[in-house]
Amino acid sequence: MAERSFAKEVQKLKIGEGETFSGEGILALTKALLEAGVGYVGGYQGAPISHLMDVLADAEEILTELGVRYEANASEAAAAAMLAASVHYPIRGAVTFKGPVGVNVASDALANLSSAGVTGGALVIIGEDYGEGSSIMQERSHAFAMKSQMWLLDPRPNLPSIVQSVHQGFELSEATNTPVMLMVRIRSCHVTGSFQAKDNKRPPFTVKDALANPRSDYARVVLPPMSYLQEHDKIDNRWPAALKHIRDNGLNEMFGPKQAPIGIVLQGGMYNGVIRALQRLGLADIHGETEIPLYVLNVTYPLVPDEFSEFCQGKSAVLVVEEGQPEFIEQALGSALYKAGSSVKLHGKDMLPMAGEYTGQVMLDGLEAFIRKAAPEMLPARLRAPNSDQKPALPDLSKTVPMRPPGFCTGCPERPIFAAIKLTEMEHGKHQIAADIGCHLFATLPPFEIGGSTMGYGLGPASNAAFDGGGDKRSISILGDGGFWHNGLSSSIGNAVYNQSDGVIVIVDNFYSAATGGQDILSSRATNPTKTTGQPIADALKGVGVKWVRQIDRTYDVPKMRQILNEALTTDHVGPKVIVASSECMLNKQRREKPLASKAIKEGRRVEKPRFGIDEDVCTGDHACIRLSGCPSLSLKRLDDPLRDDPVASIDQSCVGCGNCGEVADAAVLCPSFYRADVVFNPNWFERSLGAFTSRIITWLQHHRSRGRIEFVRT
Amino acid sequence: MPNNTHSALKAQPNDPALDQIIKLAIMAVGGQGGGVLTNWIEDCAHRNGYVVQATSVAGVAQRTGATIYYMEMAPAGERQPVFSLMPAAGDVDILVAAEMMEAGRAIMRGFVTPDRTTLIASSHRALAVSEKTVPGDGIADSDEVIAAAEIAAQRFIAFDMEKMAVDVGSMISASLFGALAGSGALPFARESFEAAIKASGRGVEASLRAFAAGFEAAAGGKVEAQQKSSSSTGDTPAGPKTLIEKWAALEARAAAFPAPVRDMVLTGLRAVVDFQDLDYGEDYLGRLDTVLSCDDAAKGHELTLEAAKYIAKAMAYDDVFRVADLKTRGSRFARVRAEIAPAKGAQMKLTEFMHPRAEEIVGMMPAGLGRRLSGSARTMRLIDKVVNRGRRLRTDRLLPFAQLYVLGGLRKYRRGTLRHAIETDHLETWLELALSYSRIDYALGVETLRNRRLVKGYSDTHARGLSKFDRVMQGVALLAGRDDAAHWCRLLREAALADEKGEQLEGALKTVRSFAEKPATARQN
C-alpha cells in the first residue's frame, strides 16, 4: 500500500459527460487517459509523477472494468518497452515516469520504439524534475525527443490544457506514427483545478483483442535494412505529417494582439509564470489578456517554422522563454530567422538565465529587461523612471537560518544501519563507500556523511567496480530494495559476482519503494491482491551466485549490525559480501499500525506503546547521541539553569520508540541519559496488582531516602 | 483588441481585479501536515465563492526537509483567472510559517514584504540537524528572525502553535489554520474555516480545539517568542530538621558573598549539596572564599562568578553513584510520568540503558585499590570482559530498581573512591592555574575558569572533552602574558565546541602557535 491513498479520489474518475471534474493534475491526467480510450497504462514511480502511479494502482478496478490493462512496471525501461503493444496494434497506450533520469533508463526502449514507429497512439507522460523540490541532477528531457524524433508536448499548466493535451497527444501520435512525450513539471502534477469531463471510453481494440489476433511485420523491426528505411521515414513522412497536424489542429496557441512591435515565444509550461510577470508589469489582466503577443508552444518539439515566421511578422524583437539548458528552442528559432534573412531581433538567454528554474522574480526581471530594451514605452511609468521607494534594510539572516535538507524520518529503520557503519568507520577508519538512489542517500548528509557518490538507481555497487579487486580496506556500497529490483540485481550484484568483487554490499530493505511514496515491490512483505510480493532478496542473491549473504531482520540491532559489518570487512571469503538489512519503513508501518492500535485500545485490549525519553539532569549536553542519529524527534532544549552552558538532548512526543537511541547509546557507550517508557494500555489484572505493589515499595524506598537527606524541591 | 499601431501599445494601469488575487504561501518542515492545511484553506475558499489554485512540491524533498505549499485565490467570475504556480519575491499576501526558522527562510527569499505580507509564524523550533550536532550550543537565534520579521512584515503574528496543538491532542496544521482565521487576513468568516475542518472528517474534535486556540491568540495579534524549558531542579530545601538548620547556615554564608555573585553561589551550593552532602557544600564555599580573596571588586567579581559556576560543575561530576541516585529518585519518577503522560488506567514500564566499563568499576573502588587495578592493562581487560556490555534495567521492577537504589546509596563512600580522587585532582590543578593566571591577567583567569565547559559527557565523549580541555589549556599556556591572551583563550574554547573531532580547534591552535611560539624561536636563534 502506498504512502498516500487515492482510493476515495479515484471514484471521481467514473464521472461522465457534462460533469465537472475537480482535483489534482495527476488525477486529471488519469481521467483524460480513460476518456481517450487508452488500452493499457503503466510506468515507474518517481517524483513528481509517483502519485500518478499511485492513482493508477488505486484505480486498477476501474481500469479493469473498462478493459484497460494496468502494469506496475519494474523500471522505466520496462515501462517504455511496454509501448511496443502500440507498434502493430491500434491500441492507445500510456506510460509514466520521471524525467530526465527515468527517460535515461527508458531511452533504449524509446529509441527502438521511435525507430519502429507506432500504429496506436503511444504516450509517455514525463514528470520533469527540474527546479525547486527536485531530487536529481538538473537536466532536460528535451534532448531525448530530439535525438529519437519523438514529439514533445509541454502544455500550459492548468487542468483543461493538460487534459486536452492528452487527447491531442494520442491524435498526433496516430497521425504521425510516432510516440509522443507529454511533459508535466513538478508543480503541475499537483496543481488543483477543474475541467469539463467526458465519458470514459472503452478501448475500441483491447490488449486481449490483440492477443486473439496477433500481428507482426518485419518492416517494424529495428534491424538493417529496415532501420535505414525507418530513419528516412522519420524525416520524409513523419516529420512533415507532424508539422501539418500541429498546424491544422492548432496545437500551439497565440494570445494577445495580432500585431505588435514585440512578442514572446514560450514553452507551454512557462505560460502562467509569463502571465504573472506581465500582470506585474501592467501588461496583462487577471484573465491573462495580454498586451504583448504570446506564441505558446504546447508542442516544443518539433517546432513549426511557418507558424513562427507568421508570429514574427511586423515585430522588431521576440523573446524566447525556455527553461533550462542548452537553449534548444532558441537555437532552432534563431537558425530559422537567419536562414529566412529576417531582421527580427531574437532574445532569450541574454535576458533570462541560462541555468536554473524560472521563478517569479527571474521571470519578472527577464521580461522587464526584454521590454526595456525592445519596447521601453510599454513599461509603466513607475518602472521607466523608478522612484526611490526605499526597501527597508533587513538584518542578514543567511548566517542564522540553517539549511534544512531532507533526511531520515522519525524512527526510520535505515538510521541504525548508518549509525552502525559510522561506528565501524570510527573503529577501523574511513572506507571507500558508494551510495545509491533512495532514502538511504540521506546518509551522505550530516550527521552520518556516509557515501561519496551516486551514479544512478541500482548502480551503487556497480559504481564501486573499479575497487572490486580489493586492497588494504574493502570498499562498501549501498543499495536499496527499490534499486535492487529496478536493475541492481543484474548491473550491481551480477556484476560483482562475475568479477569476483572483494567489496561489501549493504542492501537496505525497507519493504517498499519508500523514497517514491511506499509503493510495493517484489520483496514487499504486504500481500497485494494483484501483484506478487514476498520474494526474498536473499533468495535472489543466492540465485545469481552470491555465496556470502547475511540477513538481518531487525536493523535496530546496532551491535549485531556492527558485528556483521566487521565480519564482512575481515572475512577471507572471495567474492562479494552482501548484507541484507531489513526492517519496515516506519512511515508506512505507523500508517498501518497506528489506527489498529487506537482501535484496540478503544476496545479495551492490551496494547503497549514505546517511547524514549531523556533524563535532563543526567544529560551533559555533549550531543554525541545526535551525531549518531539526526532523528527529528531527538532534539535539544535549553534549560533554565544558570549552571548549564549547553542545551540538553530532549525527545518530543513524536517519538515512535524505534529503539535507535537506546541501541546507539549502548553500542557507542554514550551515556545513561536515555530511558524507554512503554505505556501499557488496558493492563490485565495481574499486571495491575503487581504494578501497584511494586510501585508502593519503590515509593516507600524513595521517601525513606528523601527523609534522611536534604533535597531541593520545586515550590 | 487594442489598435494595432505601435503608439497605441501603451502600458495600461494594473488591472484592479489583480488586487483581488490573494497569494498565500505555507513554508513548513516535511511531516508537519502542510498538505492538510492546504486542503482546508482550499475548501474554505471554495465555500466563500472563490476560485483557488493550490500547488505543492511532492516527493523525497519533503522528508523532514524544508518544503513549500502555494495557493492563489480570487472571487469566482465568469472567466478563469490565470494564477501563478509558485510564489514570487515581493508578491505574497499571506505567509504561514510552521516553524520559526522557516519564517526566517521566507524572509530571506523575499516572500515577506512590508507593503503587503501578513506573516503568521509558529515561534517553536524544529531544530535542523546542523544545529543539533554541534557539541556546544548551535541553536539558531529566533530573536534575530523575530527582529527581521518585525521589519519585513506588514503584520506579524507569532506564538508557539506547536505546543498549543499538542496540548489539546492535535497537530500544528490545526492551530496554524486557526491563527490564519484569527488574523483576519482572509476575508472569510470563522464558521467557514470550521466547516472545512468538519468536512475533512478525521480528528475533527481535536482539530477544532487547536483551531480555536490559534484563532483566539491570533485575533489578539500576539507576538510571543518560545518559552524556555524550566529545569527540573527546585530550590526549596526539604529534609530532616537538623540538616535544614545546617543548610540555613551555609545559605547565610552564600548570601554574604558580594551581590553580583550571590545567586550563582547559591545555585552552585545547592548543586553540590544535592550531589553529595552539606559538608561537600562547605568545601565548595571554602574554595570560593579562596577565589574571592584573589578577586577584584572593581572587575565586578567576574572571577568569583565563573568560579561559583564551574567549581560547582566540577564538584558535581557524573559518576555511577550520581546516575544511580538520579535515576531512582521520586522526583525523577514523577517527571518521567509527567512527560510520558500515560493515559488513565495505563501502566508504564521503564527501561534504563547502562553500559558500564572497567573504568567505571575501578572508579567506584577505594582510591588505592582502584589505582593499582587500573595500572594493569591486563586486569582492566579482564574486568571489561566481565562488565563491559549494555545492560537494560527495568526500574519499574523491584530488583533492578533495588540495584540502582543501593548503588545510589553508596554515594556516602564517594569521597574515598578513585574517581573522586581523580576529579578533585583535576579540579585543583585547574583552579590553581586559573588563579595564578588571574594574578597577571585577570581576564585570562576568568577565561581559564570558563574552559571547564569543555569537560562533559560520559566515556569516550568525556575523554574527548578532557583532551580538548587539555589542548586548549596548552594553547593558553603559550599565550599567558600576552595582552590578547583572554581573547584567544575564548576563541580556542569556541573552536573546541564547534565540532566533534576538534578540527576547528586544531586550526585555531595552529594559528596560536604560529604567533605565540615565533618569538621563542627567534630568541633561540
Q: For residue B233, give the nearest of A617, A647, A672 by CB distance.
A: A617
Residue that is written with C-alpha cell 504486504 in the block: A526
Q: Is the pLDDT confidence value at A366 over 90?
A: yes
> Chain B neighbours among A 316-345 (CB < 8 Å)?
none
Residue B273 lies in a domain: yes
Q: For residue A638, give the nearest of B229, B274, B353 by CB distance.
A: B229
**Chain B residues within an 8 Å CB radius of A186:** 57-59
**Chain B residues within an 8 Å CB radius of A703:** 330
Q: B132 vs A635: CB contact, 8 Å cut-off? A: yes
Q: For residue B66, give the nearest of A134, A404, A677 by CB distance.
A: A404
* Best CA proximity match to B226, nearest among B306, B161, B308, B290: B161
Q: Is B478 on the interface with A (CB under 8 A)?
A: no
Q: Which of A409-413, A463-467, B515-519 has the lowest mean pLDDT?
A: B515-519
Within this chain, do residues B58 and B115 fall inside the same structural domain, yes or no? yes
What's residue B9's pLDDT?
43
Specify whether the backbone of A662 is left (phi greater than 0), alpha (psi in -120 to 50) or beta. alpha
> Chain B neighbours among A 696-715 (CB < 8 Å)?
697-699, 701-703, 705-715
Q: How confident is the model at residue B57 (pLDDT cuts 50, 70, 90)?
A: confident
Q: Is A672 on the interface with B (CB under 8 A)?
A: yes
Q: Is B55 on the interface with A (CB under 8 A)?
A: yes
Q: How confident is the model at residue B2 (pLDDT cuts 50, 70, 90)?
A: very low
* Best CA proximity match to B247, nearest among B266, B275, B261, B232: B266
CB A391 within 8 A of CB B152: no
Instruction: Quote the ipTM score.
Output: 0.94
Q: Is B403 on the interface with A (CB under 8 A)?
A: no
Of B315, B344, B361, the one marking the end of a domain is B315
**Chain B residues within an 8 Å CB radius of A402:** 101, 128, 130-131, 140
Distance from C-alpha of B194 to C-alpha of B48, rounded to nearest angstrom: 13
Q: How confident is the model at residue B284 (pLDDT cuts 50, 70, 90)?
A: very high
**Chain A residues within an 8 Å CB radius of B85:** 157, 187-188, 191, 272-273
What's residue A354's pLDDT?
98
What's residue A343's pLDDT?
95
What's residue B13's pLDDT?
62
What's residue A3's pLDDT?
78
CB A144 within 8 A of CB A225: no
Q: B235 vs A712: CB contact, 8 Å cut-off? A: yes
What's residue A4's pLDDT?
83
Q: Where are the alpha helices (DSSP H) in B276-329?
A: 278-294, 302-315, 320-328
Q: Which of B132, B162, B272, B405 to mutate to test the interface with A (most CBs of A within 10 A)?
A: B132
Q: Is A522 on the interface with B (CB under 8 A)?
A: no
**Chain B residues within an 8 Å CB radius of A378:** 9-11
What's residue A551's pLDDT?
98
Distance from C-alpha of A659 to C-alpha of A663, rounded to nearest angstrom: 6
Query: What CA dihedral angle connects A308, A313, A315 and A321, to 10 degrees?
Result: -10
> For A314-341, what is each residue's pLDDT tens digit?
999 999 999 999 999 999 999 999 999 9
Q: Report in angstroms the alpha-carbon separations of B404 from B135, B233, B349.
A: 29, 21, 16
Within this chain, do residues B213 and B255 fall inside the same structural domain, yes or no? no
Of B273, B295, B315, the one marking the end of a domain is B315
Distance from C-alpha of A629 to C-alpha of A627, rounded to nearest angstrom: 6
Q: Is B463 on the interface with A (CB under 8 A)?
A: no
Q: For residue B137, give the nearest of A363, A646, A676 by CB distance.
A: A646
Residue B211 lies in a domain: yes
Please give the mean pLDDT across all residues of chain A.
95
Q: For residue B59, give the nearest of A50, A271, A642 by CB distance.
A: A50
Domains and CATH numbers, chain A: 15-197+214-248 (3.40.50.970), 253-384 (3.40.50.920), 414-588 (3.40.50.970), 606-707 (3.30.70)
Q: Is B228 on the interface with A (CB under 8 A)?
A: yes
CA-based nearest distance B2→chain A, Å: 7
Residue B342 lies in a domain: no
**If you average pLDDT over residues A219-225, what whole number do you get?**
96
Q: B240 vs A708: CB contact, 8 Å cut-off? A: yes
Q: B240 vs A190: CB contact, 8 Å cut-off? A: no
**If you average pLDDT over residues A567-591, what whole number do you get?**
96
**If you average pLDDT over residues B369-386, what whole number do you get?**
95
Within this chain, do residues B43 and B179 fall inside the same structural domain, yes or no? yes
Within this chain, do residues B183 and B272 fall inside the same structural domain, yes or no? no
Q: Is the pLDDT confidence value at B1 over 50?
A: no
Q: Which of B82, B321, B461 to mutate to test the interface with A (most CBs of A within 10 A)?
A: B82
Higher pLDDT, B61 or A377: A377
Q: For residue B131, give the nearest of A397, A402, A442 by CB distance.
A: A402
Distance from C-alpha of B348 to C-alpha of A6, rounded to nearest angstrom: 38
What's residue B518's pLDDT?
61
> For B189-221, what is each residue's pLDDT tens digit?
999 999 999 999 888 999 999 999 999 999 988
Expressed as residue numbers, the domain containing B310 is: 241-315
Distance from C-alpha of A170 to C-alpha of A155, rounded to nearest angstrom: 14
Distance from C-alpha of B19 to C-alpha of A284, rounded to nearest angstrom: 13
Of B300, B315, B330, the one marking the end of a domain is B315
Within this chain, do residues B52 and B103 fall inside the same structural domain, yes or no? yes
CA-based nearest distance B520→chain A, Å: 36
Within this chain, do residues B35 and B128 fall inside the same structural domain, yes or no? yes
Number of Cβ pairs < 8 A linking chain A and chain B: 471
Residue B364 lies in a domain: no
Distance from C-alpha of B525 to C-alpha of B516, rounded to nearest angstrom: 16
Q: How far apart are the first and last CA of chain B?
A: 91
Q: Is B490 on the interface with A (CB under 8 A)?
A: no
Q: Which residues neighbour A196 within 8 Å (Cβ) at sequence distance 6 or greater?
A: A18, A19, A20, A21, A160
Q: How confident is the model at residue B59 (pLDDT cuts 50, 70, 90)?
A: low
Q: For residue B42, give the nearest of A158, A192, A675 by CB distance.
A: A192
Q: How confident is the model at residue B14 (pLDDT cuts 50, 70, 90)?
A: confident
Q: Report in angstroms the alpha-carbon separations of B520 from B477, B492, B515, B517, B523.
A: 13, 21, 10, 5, 5
Distance from C-alpha of A672 to C-alpha of A665, rounded to nearest angstrom: 7
What's residue A561's pLDDT?
97
Residue B359 lies in a domain: no
What's residue B60's pLDDT?
65
Q: Is the pLDDT confidence value at B40 over 70?
A: yes
Q: For residue A392, give the nearest of B83, B132, B151 by CB distance.
A: B151
What's residue B61's pLDDT?
60
Distance from C-alpha of A581 to C-alpha of A579, rounded to nearest angstrom: 6
Q: Is A5 on the interface with B (CB under 8 A)?
A: no
CA-based nearest distance A591→chain B, Å: 13
> Quick one: CA dihedral A403, A404, A406, A409, positive or negative?
positive
Within this chain, do residues B45 and B158 fall inside the same structural domain, yes or no? yes
Residue B398 lies in a domain: no
- For residue B421, the surrounding DSSP H or E stretch is helix B418-440
Q: A676 vs B65: CB contact, 8 Å cut-off? A: no
> For A595-637, what is each residue's pLDDT tens digit?
999 999 999 999 999 999 999 999 999 999 999 999 999 999 9
**Chain B residues within an 8 Å CB radius of A706:** 238-239, 329-330
Number of domains present in the structure of chain B: 3
> For B231-272, what is each residue's pLDDT tens digit?
555 688 999 999 999 999 999 999 999 999 999 999 999 999
Q: Cis (ω within 30 of 0) for the bond into A48?
A: yes
Q: How confident is the model at residue A464 (pLDDT cuts 50, 70, 90)?
A: very high
Q: Is the pLDDT confidence value at B392 over 50?
A: yes
CATH code for the domain of B189:
3.40.920.10
Within this chain, do residues B148 and B254 fall inside the same structural domain, yes or no? no
Residue B437 lies in a domain: yes
Residue B257 lies in a domain: yes
Query: What CA dihedral angle connects B271, B276, B281 and B284, to 10 degrees?
Result: -80
> For B408-448, what is each residue's pLDDT tens digit?
999 999 999 999 999 999 999 999 999 999 999 999 999 99
Q: Is A650 on the interface with B (CB under 8 A)?
A: yes
Q: Hey, what's the cell of A317?
A: 524583437
**If you average pLDDT over residues A283-312, what whole number do you get?**
97
Within this chain, do residues B210 and B273 fall inside the same structural domain, yes or no? no
What's residue B5's pLDDT?
34
Within this chain, do residues B180 and B288 fall inside the same structural domain, yes or no? no
Q: Which of A378, A690, A698, A704 to mutate to test the interface with B (most CBs of B within 10 A)?
A: A698
CA-based nearest distance A355→chain B, Å: 18
Q: Which residues neighbour B26 within 8 Å (Cβ) at sequence distance 6 or greater?
A: B34, B37, B38, B68, B69, B70, B96, B97, B98, B176
Q: For residue A401, give the nearest of B55, B101, B331 by CB distance.
A: B101
Within this chain, do residues B82 and B188 fall inside the same structural domain, yes or no? yes
Distance from C-alpha of A525 to C-alpha of A321, rounded to nearest angstrom: 48
Within this chain, do residues B132 and B180 fall inside the same structural domain, yes or no? yes
Q: A643 vs B83: CB contact, 8 Å cut-off? A: no
